[in-house]
Each structure stands twice: as C-alpha cells, then as structure tokens.
C-alpha cells in the first residue's frame, strides 16, 4: 500500500531531488512506499497530535489554551518536514548526473550548511559539511553533493552516522579513488540541556580509499578546508 506525503513535504522532497528547470511533476506525484508507518502522510492520522497533547499535559501545560491549540498540528507538520530525507529517492536525486570525464584530481565542495535532528533528544544539530572525492573516470554534478547532504540531514540522525552515509553514497555510485567527508556541528542537546556548554563544536570525518591510505592526499584535503573562500 502507498500513501502520499503532505503537499509541503512532497514539495521539499522534490526540491532535494530535482534541479531548477527540471520537471518536478514526477517527484511531486510519486507515491512513497512505506511512509504510512511514519505517520506523516496527509490527511493527519491524529496519533502525532495526540502524543504532543499528552506531552503538553505531562509538563503541566493546558493544550486547550489559545496559544497551544494549534501546536499539535504544527509539531506534526514540522517533524514531517524535518524528516523529509527518508522519502527522497536516491536515484531520482542523482538523475543520471554522473558523467564520464577523464579527470583524476581532487574535487572539493565545502561549507555546505545543514540542519538535522539528534535522534537521542529530538533536538537540532546544525553546521557545515565538506565533501571531497578523487574521480576514477566518473564525476557527479556539482549540485548533487549538497543534495546528498540534505537527504541524510533531514532524518533522525547522529553526526557520526550521517558523515559515513554521505561518504558511502558517493563511494558506491562513483567508485572513485577516494572519498573524504568532514562535518562540523553545534548540538543543542549539549547547549540547552545536559552539560550546557554553548560554543562546543563536534567534528567528524569519514575517509575512504586514497584519503585513508595516503597521508599526502588526506593532508591536501584538510588544507583545502583551511582556505578562506573567495571574497571572504
């Protein structure tokens, strides 16, 4: 059985999957397999809203007061949007944008902003991702790399896994000489609660192929990350 996502989530999925100027009709119309289990499909099934109302009562609030009447529905729609990455079709995202090119030097796309949700507390973590690979006869369209980051960020995540998933995605589809990914993020679960240390930044990396086996290649990648962008 297939159900369709709410319009605002379907549009977001289509935005991640398609280029400007491409037809997004197929992405907008496509049913999503298995999405009913996540409870984010329209019309709302009420379970998320009911759970949010229960939480409001548990913390001592009145879900029937004016300011909170619409909160359960808003929270439902918010989580549907923030977890839209579960519904992105990787093949539609790539959309044949892998090209045979005789280029074998490092390709680096850095400072890609992202926002995600920590799966342990459902609090945001956010920062930037930098991605590099060394082609072996195949390159991927530039815009696809930020889309890959977005696909994995819009899920319940831990930073370590997200970093590895981005690297594995490129490695599996390009079969390059190597892949390197570095993610730096602030975690609100370490700022708003628990240890409460604002300004703490977590850095994770995943290196495959030459980035793992050759020190010089890995050093070149990290040197690119230290360089200021043009005009900065």
Catalytic residue among 157, 159, 164, 165: 159
Is 44 buried (19+), middle (13-18) or exposed (0-12) by CB count in 10 A? Answer: middle
Active site residue 76: no
Active site residue 164: no
Catalytic residue among 8, 120, 160, 175: 120
Cα separations in angstroms, 2 against 41, 46, 123, 151 = 10, 19, 30, 21
Active site residue 120: yes
Active site residue 189: yes
Q: Which of 203, 45, 23, 69 is nearest to 128 (CA)?
A: 203
Active site residue 224: no
Catalytic residue among 61, 81, 184, 189: 189
Catalytic residue among 118, 150, 165, 220: 118
Tokens of 217: 């290649």
Place of tokens 């060394």: 134
Active site residue 165: no
Helix (H) or strand (E) holding 112: strand 107-118
Angle of the 47-58 helix axis to the 71-82 helix axis, nearest 10 = 120
- CA angle (148 as vertex; 143, 151 as ends), nearest 5: 125
CB 211 within 8 A of CB 204: no
Active site residue 150: no
Catalytic residue among 50, 119, 160, 175: 119
Q: Which residues are catalytic?
A: 118-121, 159, 187, 189
């Amino acid at each position: 059985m297939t159900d369709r996502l709410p319009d605002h989530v379907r549009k977001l999925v289509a935005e991640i999957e398609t280029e400007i100027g491409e037809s997004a009709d197929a992405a907008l119309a496509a049913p999503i397999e298995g999405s009913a289990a996540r409870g984010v499909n329209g019309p709302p099934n009420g379970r998320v809203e009911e759970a949010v109302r229960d939480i409001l009562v548990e913390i001592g609030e009145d879900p029937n007061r004016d300011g909170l009447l619409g909160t359960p529905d808003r929270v439902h729609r918010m989580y549907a949007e923030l977890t839209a990455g579960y519904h992105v079709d990787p093949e539609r995202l790539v959309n044949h944008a892998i090209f045979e090119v005789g280029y074998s030097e490092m390709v680096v796309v850095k400072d890609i902003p992202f926002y995600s949700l920590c799966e342990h507390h459902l609090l945001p973590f956010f920062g930037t991702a930098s991605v590099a690979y060394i082609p072996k006869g195949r390159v991927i369209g530039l815009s696809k790399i930020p889309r890959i980051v977005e696909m994995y960020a819009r899920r319940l995540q831990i930073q370590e896994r997200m970093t590895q998933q981005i690297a594995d995605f490129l490695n599996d589809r390009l079969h390059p000489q190597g892949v390197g990914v570095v993610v730096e993020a602030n975690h609100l679960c370490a700022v708003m609660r628990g240890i409460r240390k604002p300004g703490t930044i977590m850095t994770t990396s995943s290196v495959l192929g030459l980035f793992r086996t050759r020190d010089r290649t890995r050093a070149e990648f990290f040197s690119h990350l230290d360089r200021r962008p043009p005009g900065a």
